[in-house]
Amino acid sequence: MSPAARAGAPAATLTQAKIPGARLFRRGKVRDVYEAGDGLLVMVASDRLSAFDVVLPTPIPQKGRVLTRLSSFWFERTKAIAPNHIVETDLARFPEPFRSHPELGGRSVLVRRCERIDIECVARGYVSGSAWAEYRKMGTIAGERMPPGLLESEQLREPIFTPATKAVTGHDENISRAQLAAMVGHELAKKLEAVTIALYRSAHAFALGRGLILADTKFEFGFGPEPNPAPPPSKVSDPRYMASGPLTLIDEVLTPDSSRYWDAARYRAGETPPSFDKQYVRDFLVASGWNKEPPAPKLPPEVVEGTSQRYLDCYERIVGRPLDATDAPPVRTGGR
């Protein structure tokens, strides 16, 4: 059965949102973000896929809907740990012109505009991916010495925090915790680490109950606007400036794009477990001989189909039901 049929939706993909009359705020690797007035933004998750920080030319059916619905699920589950930017997920309650575009349904969220901190906050509970490559070569992860003798995919005694700079285009760069503190100040660096690890621990425990291992994941944060006083400055020029708004979880949360999920039943330390993320695409690209610089090659149909199925499977395993057009109740956290 095709991914579209499984999800109860047409096979059409959305590679780029086009909303006449709406002002584009930012177009990222996957999401198109529009201004919605009153300090709000509309985030549209396309079906674009990036690998090695390069956007691929081939879209993945249902990907944007999975990312949006799964993020909404996790935002709701983690709101006691970290406030988030979600205002509304029901397209019918969006302002115009957005609610007149049915193609945005299930792949868009209305959010509060926050002052983004340009750091990717990564939590790792297992030695895998780039962490394994660094450890095997240097005995370190994110520049910090690790115990000898660790195996690939082995669980760490405690999850670790490995931040990275966030690139709008090009490659993100891993940094040490000391470098992070120098960039944003010690107080904010400690808070980012504490919240990141708390979110990871909670999500790891929940996923394990669903038969999945959350090996690693990344979060993004910003400073939320205060509820009553004047809004914060349009841009925080000094990254060490602690804005008056609360530290707020933004962007996407615990999706296959931002996380590495494994099937717990197939996990073995010392091996590379199959994952529900885009590693399937990365493996194809590496085997193709691509040099990881634009332009990227097109994906063959079997890779597109297999990737879409992995996204849908991940959603169903975590949420407990298949993705379809009506299964997710709207999430509202205020503001409208």
Residue-wise over 236-245: b if at least 16 C-beta within 10 A, else e?
beeeeeebeb
- What's the CA gap between 188 and 204, in Å, rounded? 24
Tell whether the torsion through CA atoms of 258, 262, 264 and 268 is positive or negative: negative
Q: Is the pLDDT of residue 238 over 70?
A: no
Query: What pLDDT, on a 0 to 100 scale, did the predictor assign at position 200?
Result: 99
How many other β-carbons are positioned within 10 Å of the β-carbon of residue 115? 20
Q: What is the pTM of this model?
A: 0.87
**Mean pLDDT, residues 272-291:** 92
Find tokens 């909404």 and name the residue: 72
- What's the CA gap between 164 and 80, in Å, rounded? 25
Query: What pLDDT, on a 0 to 100 scale, did the predictor assign at position 173?
Result: 84
How many other β-carbons are positioned within 10 Å of the β-carbon of residue 288? 11
- What's the CA gap between 307 and 45, in Å, rounded? 16
Query: What pLDDT, on a 0 to 100 scale, did the predictor assign at position 104?
Result: 97
Within its chain, how far is the Cα of 102 from the centroid? 24
pLDDT greater at residue 205 or residue 332: 205
Greatest alpha-carbon span in the chain: 58
In degrees and rounded to multiples of 5, residue 249 shows phi and psi of: -80, 130
- Residues 6 or more apart whose Cβ sits within 8 Å of residue 214: 125, 200, 203, 204, 207, 208, 254, 259, 260, 261
Domains and CATH numbers, the chain: 116-126+157-263 (3.30.470.20)
73-115 pLDDT, tens digit each? 999 999 999 999 999 999 999 999 999 999 999 999 999 999 9
Query: What pLDDT, on a 0 to 100 scale, did the predictor assign at position 170?
Result: 53
Find tokens 């349904």 and name the residue: 105
Residue pair 126/216 in contact (Cβ under 8 Å)? The answer is: yes
Mean pLDDT computed over every residue of the chain: 89
277-286 pLDDT, tens digit each? 888 899 999 9
Examine residue 225 and say whether the peptide bond preceding it is cis (omega within 30 degrees of 0): no
pLDDT greater at residue 254 or residue 3: 254
**144-145/140-141 β-pairing:** antiparallel
**What distances in angstroms separate CA 80 from CA 74, 119, 208, 248, one per listed residue?**
11, 22, 20, 12
**173-174/164-165 β-pairing:** antiparallel
Alpha helices in 103-185 (DSSP H): 130-138, 177-184
Token pair for residue 90?
């029901």
**Mean pLDDT, residues 174-178:** 92
Query: What pLDDT, on a 0 to 100 scale, did the predictor assign at position 245?
Result: 79
Burial (CB count <10 Å: 0-12, 13-18, 19+), residue 176: middle
Percent of the chain with pLDDT over 90: 79
253-264 pLDDT, tens digit each? 999 999 999 999
Smallest Cα–Cα separation from 213: which of 222, 225, 205? 205
Query: What pLDDT, on a 0 to 100 scale, did the predictor assign at position 167?
Result: 64
Where does the pLDDT of residue 171 fall: very low under 50, low under 70, confident under 90, or very high at 90 and above?
Answer: low
N-term to C-term CA, the chain: 40
Residue-wise over 26-42: b if at least 16 C-beta within 10 A, else e?
ebbbbbbbbebeeebbb
Where does the pLDDT of residue 244 fall: very low under 50, low under 70, confident under 90, or very high at 90 and above?
Answer: low
How many other β-carbons are positioned within 10 Å of the β-carbon of residue 256? 25
**Mean pLDDT, residues 194-217:** 98
Query: What pLDDT, on a 0 to 100 scale, did the predictor assign at position 331?
Result: 58
Query: What pLDDT, on a 0 to 100 scale, did the predictor assign at position 172?
Result: 73
CA angle 110, 217, 281 (to 5 degrees): 90
